[in-house]
Amino acid sequence: MIIVSSRGIKMVIGTSKDSKFIVEEAERPWYDSKKGISEAVKALDGLNRLISERYIAGYQRGEPLNDFYVLGAYYLDSCGNCARIKGRISEDFFLNIPSVLSNAEFWNYISDGNFKNQVHTFSYDGGNMPTSKLKCASCGEVWTIDNCRDTVIRSEVIVVPLNEFIGKTLLDVKTVYSQRDDAIYDMYSGVAIRNDRYIDLSQKFPNGTREWELEIVKNASGWICDEDGLNDSYVIQFGDETKFMKSSYYHSACNDANLEDEMQKRFEAIFNAAGFKVVGFTSIVNEYCTCEICAPWFNFETEFGIIKIGWRKRVINIDWSGLDVLHENIFSLFKDESVTKGYFYIHAWGYEKAQEYLDSIYGFLLKS
């Protein structure tokens, strides 16, 4: 069946496995044609513009789009989204893959190249594309079209003091942070400024009759937002701070090295604080999750033997199976702990609790 869209473009529906909407190549807009997309992905700025234009076309103008795979690492769907390939993919996979492929062409390439088992999934995270002004948060190398697919994004919510902006506007703050090259900083629109002067402990429901109403105060945290009249013209005052979602971009190798170094130092610190003498350590594969943002586990060699430690989702796994002791004796130290545990391991909720458990283990070993 042939129909004509609101943009006057002829489409054939239901005649191809590639897409529901098929438009003659010459009649497609640049962001929805192989030729236009091939030109765009020659540079990182062009790829970012491509993603933006397709999102606007799909979500603001409701245009039907064809789906494409670009650089072997990004999937542009028919709605205007960009998804990114996930998993640790062999570099061989990217050596000869064309820069732009249709849906069918991409999966034929996977099958013919025997790479099917390496392609796990594509994640709809907006593509999380770095810009050409950004640098790797570890080595400082700038991002280009040649290395953009080798990105690991680590995001965290940070609270930033704004005393250096006193007398300037909130728009000035946003402008300065938008120009930084170490990460992308997205300011929260609903909760933007915090200051002790905005704390109001008076009752929010002074005439309330229910117990929960009597317990609620107007502003216990001191945050204000657009609902309180906050906008870009707000003038920063002493003591103000704001929240950002900070997204840092790392090369895969830089990320692995950074995670290993960071985690080794944190764990070594709690071993030392507990009294252990750390003779050496070895990083090992994370035995719970092998994704790109989870740190490795470690075997810490102490004067008593090896203790394995590592993050397991929200808890730290401490494993004393490498110690030459009766494992049940250490297990008995934690009989009153209501956490996941076994004869040779226990899960600690955070660094403080992990150190507490290591304190107990060290005390027991010292007396044995």
Q: Mean pLDDT over residues 52-80, rounded?
A: 94
Q: By three-state DSSP, how is residue 46 classified?
A: helix
**Least confident span in 1-15, 42-56, 291-305:** 1-15
Whether residue 3 is predicted with pLDDT greater than 60 in this model: the reply is no
Asked whether residue 173 carries a pLDDT value surpassing 50, the answer given is yes
Q: Is residue 226 over pLDDT 80?
A: yes
Q: What pLDDT band is residue 209 in, cutting at 50, 70 and 90?
A: confident
> What is the rounded CA–CA span in Å between residue 50 and residue 30?
9
Can you tell me whether residue 58 is helix, strand or coil? helix
Q: pLDDT digit string (tens) for 247-304?
A: 999 999 999 999 999 999 999 999 999 999 999 999 999 999 988 889 999 999 999 9
Mean pLDDT of 220-227: 92
Model confidence at 6: pLDDT above 70: no
Q: Six-digit token pair at 249?
A: 């971009």
In the chain, domain spans: 2-128, 151-250, 275-367
Distance, in Å, from the CA atom of 163 to the CA atom of 179, rounded to the nearest integer, reads 19
> Do the beta carbons of residue 102 and residue 66 sit within 8 Å?
yes
| Residue 197 phi, psi dihedral angles, 5° rounding | -70, -15
Q: Which long-range contacts (CB under 8 A, 24 or more apart) does 198-201 make?
A: 198/222, 198/223, 198/224
Q: Of 149, 18, 144, whose CA–CA distance to 71 is shortest?
A: 149
Check residue 116 and give its pLDDT: 60
Query: What DSSP assignment string belongs to 302-347?
Result: ETTEEEEEEEETTEEEEE-TTBSS-HHHHHGGGTT--S-EETTEEE
CB 54 within 8 A of CB 6: no
pLDDT at 87 over 80: no
Whether pLDDT at 103 is above 90: no
Contacts of 147 (CB under 8 A, 6+ apart): 141, 251
pLDDT at 121: 73
pLDDT given for residue 267 in this prediction: 98
DSSP assignment of 235-289 = BP-TT-EEEEEEEEEEEHHHHHHHHHHHHHHHHHHHHHHHT--EEEEEEE--SS-
pLDDT band of 4, cuts 50, 70, 90? very low
155 - beta bridge partners? 247
| pLDDT number for residue 337 | 95
pLDDT: is 3 or 303 the higher one?
A: 303
